[in-house]
Amino acid sequence: MTTEFVFPKIHTFPPLYTEQPNSTILSNQLDSWCQIILQYCEFYKITSLNRNGTPKYSQIESLSIDSLPPIFENKSINRSTNDNFRNVIIHHLIYKLKKAQYIDPKKPELGIYVYWRSLVEWGQLLYDYVDSTGQLGTVLTLYELTKSDESGLPDSLKNLDEGLLIKIVKDYLIKQGKAQILMNEDNEIGGVKIV
Amino acid sequence: MGQQTSTPPKITAQDKAIFQLKQQRDKLKQYQKRLTIVIDKQSNLAKQAIKDKQLDRAKFYLRSKKQQQSVIEKTYNQLDNLEGLIGTIEFKLIEKDVLYGLQQGNAVLKKLNNEMSIDKIDKVLDDLQDERVKVDEISDALGMGSGLTNQEEDEVDEELRQLELQVNGPTKQEIVEDKLPQVPTDKIMPQVPNEPVHDTEEPNIESERPNEPIAN
Amino acid sequence: MNYSWQQDRAAYSQLGRSISEKHTDQLSTQLSVFQSALINFASEHGNEIKSNLEFRNKFTHLCNSIGIDPLELLLYTGSKNSKIRLDNFYIALAVRIIEVCQQTRDLNGGLISIKELLSILKENDSLQINITSNEIEKSLSYLNTLGKGYEILNINDKKWLKFSSATGSGISNDQKRVYELCSFMGGFVTYKLLRDNFEWDKVRCKTVIDEMIMNGLVWVDTQGENGQYQYWEPSWISN
């Protein structure tokens, strides 16, 4: 992945980095920001962000996550959002657009999952993969479902963040009655059985 | 699909066992990955050492690299074992399912066969015969029970005979009449050409006609 | 059992989807045929539609019931020959312009450049009609009977459409000058720039700018050079 994400033109609009006092304008501005975040994350297959808005996890292994162009900063026009505004944007993304969730609601400092693909869509993808490979009803380890080179994982699922995988299973598949989880010896979720 | 939240699938003891094995397998795979990286690093270090003319050091790196490689080989064997075991267990589980299916089928077949035993069939046929006899008895009973005694029945028969006599006359005469056509009456007919006219004059006296042959 | 039930279900829903897709396809072809028939009808009987009230009501009702905007038909019928646009066309266009103004008000506070307006009109319209800025001006003249709600302004040789916003009384002369300076400066002004160019004192700057912020006519940027606040006109984004 050598190509770089092309930010929309509004990303070089200097006032975008200042929280607008006019509430109608602000809501437009927040929508614009969220759009940028979602496009950016989808482009780099980033499934979670740190609290300060830097990428936390990407499915693309070869991606050096620390050298990506920052979302909340534009060096070419010498602008960046302050922490407070950044939180407002993330809050908007989580509660208004419902396109993100805290990784752990009790520990917001751990960052957020960004849902450019919804949990339902993820769950469907996972289920379809397990179904199409004849593995329904078989116990699968998380390692097998994310890292393994031999299991013919589709690119969309490859190298998925295990935390997100667990969330997909817990918040969607189990609620649908389609999955059950298994604990490993460290009493952590280590496997899943999808039927 | 499934709007209603149904109960999640159950984890069986076998599931747990396979899960354990697979976890071991995953650990082995991770271990292999780590070793491969170490080996790469060591060959690079060895190269560097040769460049720096530190042959001893290069040899040390190569030696430990060799060691790592043999470890990797061992892990591959173990991995093989594990994968084999997992495969066998999974296959056994399927076999178990098949066996269960066969058992079920067998039980059903047995049950059906039991219901078809010879004794039972004989008994059913016997029963059938019994019932038939009963039916006969009943219909006999019904025949006897029409409300008349034996004597009355005889009287009815006698009356019938009388009635027959009245209508048809004695049965022996009927037999004689039957023989009549053998008599060549047609030859007589031309000699009595007027008789048909008489006949037409008194056509209703049918009862006299049977008497005529007796007069002849 | 459960599995096969689910399979059946999936197969049924698949079938249902393909059937309904087919239906939609058929319906949309039918509708487009009907639509073009309607357009022909409207252009042939245009005068009658106009003069006969009962006839017009029925026609409008017909259009509504199949989801065709009668205005769209007007745009069509009025634009058959692009050299001779009919009244119909300008009236329909004026309605479109008002729609765009309403939709974008939250973003621009009631001031839109003609250039942007044209590009939005082209984007929204499925009709592929070439519209020029002259035609926009002509359309707007039809709206004058409704009061001076829509007005063309010239700011630095560029044409802008100003329309009265729900929050304010419109664009004052001072605000217009702020916009002039913005377009001259590449998108923004500062208090200092206003002072240097127009010799406004601080109070006047603040009053004008604050009102413009309130009406959504400018965006604030607190990270300007030397810590000066910059005030940007939002059409910069789409230009």
Instruction: Answer whether C223 sits within 8 Å of A20, measured CB to CB.
Output: no
Write the residue in C106, C222, C237 that is nearest to A13 by C-beta: C237
Runs of H (alpha helix) within chain C = 2-44, 46-51, 53-65, 70-78, 87-108, 114-124, 133-143, 173-185, 191-198, 202-214
Question: Do the Cβ atoms of A176 and B7 come within 8 Å?
Answer: no
Question: Contacts of residue A143 in chain B, CB cutoff 8 Å?
Answer: 23, 26, 29-30
Q: Which pLDDT score is estimated for B171?
A: 61
CB atoms within 10 A of CB B68: 17
Q: How far is CA A55 from the centre of its chain?
A: 9
Please indicate whether residue C96 or residue A169 has the higher confidence score (pLDDT). A169
Q: What are residue B171's DSSP bridge partners?
A: none
Nearest Cα of chain C lies from the Cα of A32 at a distance, in angstroms, of: 11
Asked if residue B191 has pLDDT above 60, the reply is: no
Query: Which pLDDT score is estimated for B215?
Result: 45
Q: Where are the domains of chain B?
A: 13-114, 117-168
pLDDT in tens, C17-28: 889 999 899 888
Residue C110 is given by DSSP the state T
Name the CATH architecture for the domain at C82-170. Orthogonal Bundle (1.10)
Structure tokens belonging to residue B216: 């002849």
Of C106, C214, C236, the CB nearest to A13: C236
Predicted pLDDT at B56: 85
Token pair of A82, please? 């302050």
Determine the Cα angle at A5 with ends A4 and A6, to 5°.
Answer: 110
Closest CA to A41 of A91, A105, A107, A90: A90
* Choice among A104-118, C58-72, C148-162 with the minimum mean pLDDT: C58-72
Residue A190 backbone phi and psi in degrees, to 5: -125, -20
Size of interface A-C (CB pairs under 8 A): 48
Q: Cβ atoms within 10 A of the Cβ of C34, count?
A: 13
Chain A CB contacts of C188 under 8 Å are 14
Of the candidates C214, C215, C220, the beta carbon closest to that of A15 is on C220
Residue ranges of domains in chain A, CATH in brackets: 9-114 (1.10.10.570), 119-194 (1.10.10.10)
Rounded to whole angstroms, the Cα distance separating B175 from C14 reads: 92
Q: Are C102 and C150 in contact (CB under 8 A)?
A: no
Higher pLDDT, C41 or B172: C41
- What is the C-alpha separation between C217 and C162, in angstroms, rounded? 11
Least confident stretch, A120-129, B118-127, B175-184, C17-26: B175-184
Quick one: angle between helices C2-44 and C53-65, nearest 10?
A: 160
> According to the model, what pLDDT value does residue A39 have?
95
Q: Are A92 and A33 in contact (CB under 8 A)?
A: yes
Residues of C in contact with B2 (CB under 8 A): 6
Distance of alpha carbon C205 from alpha carbon C192, whole angstroms = 9
Nearest to A193 among B5, B9, B26 (CB): B9
Question: Would residue B169 be called left, alpha or beta, if left means φ above 0 and alpha means ψ between -120 and 50 degrees?
Answer: left
**Nearest-Cα residue of chain C relative to residue B6:** C2
Contact C5, C36 (CB under 8 A): no
Cβ of A136 under 8 Å from any chain B Cβ? no
Report DSSP letters for C189-200, one per residue: E-HHHHHHHH--
In this predicted structure, the answer to whether residue A149 has a pLDDT above a threshold of 80 is no
User: What is the predicted pLDDT for the residue at B3?
Assistant: 47
Q: Looking at this protein, which amino acid is placed at residue B33?
A: K
Looking at residue C218, the DSSP 8-state letter turns out to be S
CB neighbourhood size of B197 (10 A) = 8
pLDDT value of position A56: 93
Select the residue of C107, C214, C223 nearest A14 (Cβ to Cβ).
Answer: C223
Poorest-confidence range of B101-115, B189-203, C27-41? B189-203
Q: What is the CB neighbour count within 10 angstroms for residue A102?
A: 16
Place B208 in a pLDDT band, splitting at 50, 70 and 90: very low
Chain A: give the shortest CA distance to residue B98, in Å. 16
Identity of the highest mean pLDDT range in A39-43, B120-124, B207-211: A39-43
> A179 - beta bridge partners?
A194
Highest mean pLDDT among A55-59, C147-151, C222-226: A55-59
Q: What is the mean pLDDT of residues C186-194?
A: 90
- φ/ψ of residue C232, rounded to 5: -105, 140
Find the residue in C nearest to A195 (Cα).
C3
What span, in angstroms and rounded, lies between the C-alpha atoms of C154 and C219?
21
Containing C161, the helix (H) or strand (E) segment is strand C158-163
Chain B residues in contact with C9 by the CB 8 A cut-off are: 1
- Segment B155-179 shows an average pLDDT of 75
Cα–Cα distance, C208 to C171 (Å, whole number): 10
- Is the confidence at residue C124, as pLDDT, over 80? no
CA distances, B188 to each of B185, B196, B208, B212 (Å):
5, 12, 20, 15
pLDDT at B6 over 70: no
Q: Any idea which of A175-184, B117-126, C163-172 has the lowest mean pLDDT?
A: C163-172
Give the pLDDT band of residue C135 (cuts 50, 70, 90): confident
Radius of gyration, alpha carbons of chain A: 18
* C91-104 b/e (C-beta count within 10 Å ≥ 16 → b): bbbbbbbbebbeeb
Residues A4-61 have pLDDT tens digits of 899 998 999 999 999 999 888 899 999 999 999 999 999 999 999 998 889 999 999 8
> Are residues A167 and A113 in contact, defined by beta-carbon separation less than 8 angstroms?
yes
Tell me: pLDDT of B216 over 50. no
**Residues of chain A contacting C215 with CB distance shorter than 8 Å:** 22
Q: What is the mean pLDDT of chain B?
A: 77
Please identify which residue in the block is written with the tokens 């290069």.
B58
Tell me if ipTM is over 0.90.
no
**What's the pLDDT score for residue B121?**
83
The arithmetic mean of pLDDT across residues B66-94, rounded, is 85
- Looking at every residue in chain C, the average pLDDT score rounds to 77
Q: Which has the higher per-residue pLDDT, A43 or C158?
A: A43
Q: How confident is the model at residue C186 (pLDDT cuts 50, 70, 90)?
A: confident
Query: Does residue C81 register a pLDDT over 80?
Result: no
Q: Is the pLDDT of residue B127 over 80?
A: yes
pLDDT at C68 over 80: no
What is the torsion angle, in degrees rounded to the nearest 10, for the CA atoms of residue C86, residue C92, residue C94 and residue C95?
170
For tokens 């008349």, the residue is B148
Concatenate the DSSP letters of all residues of C44-78 into one string.
HSHHHHHH-HHHHHHHHHHHHHTT--HHHHHHHHH
Q: Give the pLDDT of residue B144.
A: 58
Which numeric CATH code is attached to C172-236?
Answer: 1.10.10.10
Residue position matching structure tokens 């950044």: A86
The whole-angstrom separation of Cα C170 and Cα C156 is 19
Mean pLDDT throughout B107-128? 85
Neighboring chain C residues of B7 at a CB cutoff of 8 Å: none
- Which tokens in the block code for residue B84? 């084999």
Cα–Cα distance, A68 to A44 (Å, whole number): 9
Which residue in C182, C194, C198 sits closest to C113, CA to CA? Answer: C182
Lowest mean pLDDT among A3-17, B9-23, B39-53: B9-23
From edge to edge, which strands make up the β-sheet containing A46-49? A55-58, A46-49, A112-114, A100-102
Least confident of C166-170, C191-195, C218-222: C166-170
